[in-house]
Amino acid sequence: MGACAITYHLRRRDVRRTIPTNWLCLTSLFFGVTIWSGHFIAMCRFLGTDAVAINLPAEIISFLITICGFFLAFRIIDRKIGGRISSYLVGLVIGLDIVTIHCLGKIFIIPPNATVYALNTPLPDTLITGLSFIITWMGISAYMIDYYGRKDALQHFKHLASTDSLTGLPNRASFEDFLAEAITQCRKNRHKAAVLIIDLNRFKEINDEHGHHAGDEVLRVMGDRLKQLVNETQAFIARLGGDEFVAILTKADIHDVRSFAKSLQRLASHPIMLNTHPLKISCSIGISMFPEDGESQETLMRQADLAMYSCKRSNSNDLFFSSAPPPDHDKVLA
């Protein structure tokens, strides 16, 4: 009860949010002291009221094993290791911990009639080996859990930093990194690449008429549709901000780009349902090609942006390329 009350008090003081490792250590200490003390007293009472000889170093080892076992269990809870089976894993660790200290307690608490014999009898080598293995295993387990927990947390934070929270697509920073790498690889291998800027039409009208929640829903649905297209085509698609998206196609010729852009237009043209009310949108797409329209990120983005605004001004459902495609294509491809 005391351990639970102290732990709850520490949790309310937000110790866990500020210094989680300290919280785990304190919680493990309090629970370990409670379990170990109760077990120690019960064992002494079981052996009788006469004087009992205590092997102090061995009891200290038993106490430390108890603390380490609870620390390992609470670390599993904190990191949610094991997913759905984490609760069973915690139960297994605590159960093994309690069984271990019970066995050690029976060995290390010496009844009076065995005191003289025990003092002159060294611990068996197998027992020492077993205890060393248990302590080493707990230490390695705690280290591995902490290591992979930190690694997972770092990956999670990296994902958050590179992902748009509304659509789940990569954000501008992630796009810029990908484009820089794509340009490097295309230049090295003499491949072509395309940058497509996609702007949603009528998005401002939807925001003004139905509210920002409707605009957010449009962006979320578009994000889901674009992610499906990514899975089908292996293109890279990100959200630049507002109602603008961008796509990168590598190792693609003019026919591949045109086909991909048409797929984007078809996705955008499907009505989006808002409370049984269909919202009709479309998109304007501007395209720049590497290396024809430029060999730097800034140039390719500027050219694609200019082409997109030309498409928007034309008020048509065409695809606008920044520069003239090969002779068998027009400036504007319908």
Residue 233 lies in a domain: yes
180 and 151 share one domain: no
Together in a domain, 225 and 284: yes
180 and 319 assigned to the same domain = yes
The answer on 253 and 195 residing in a single domain is yes
Residue ending a domain, choose from 111, 139, 162: 162
Are residues 323 and 267 part of one domain?
A: yes
Residues 7 and 132 in one domain: yes
Which residue range(s) make up the domain with 88? 2-162
Specify whether 36 is located in the same domain as 81: yes
List the chain pLDDT tens, one digit each, 334 residues. Answer: 444 544 544 444 444 444 456 667 766 777 777 777 777 767 666 665 454 556 667 777 777 888 888 888 877 776 666 666 777 777 788 888 777 777 776 665 555 555 444 444 555 566 567 667 766 766 676 667 667 777 777 877 887 888 998 999 999 999 999 999 999 999 999 999 999 999 999 888 988 888 888 889 999 999 999 998 888 777 899 999 889 999 999 988 888 899 999 999 898 888 888 888 888 888 999 999 999 999 899 999 999 999 998 888 887 666 677 664 433 434 333 3
Note whether 128 and 67 are same-domain residues.
yes
| Amino acid at the residue 242 | G
Pairing of strands 193-201, 282-290: antiparallel
Q: Based on the domain organization, do 184 and 326 belong to the same domain?
A: yes
pTM flag (> 0.95): no
Which of these three, 114, 137, 162, is where a domain ends? Answer: 162
Positive/negative CA dihedral, 128, 129, 133, 139: positive
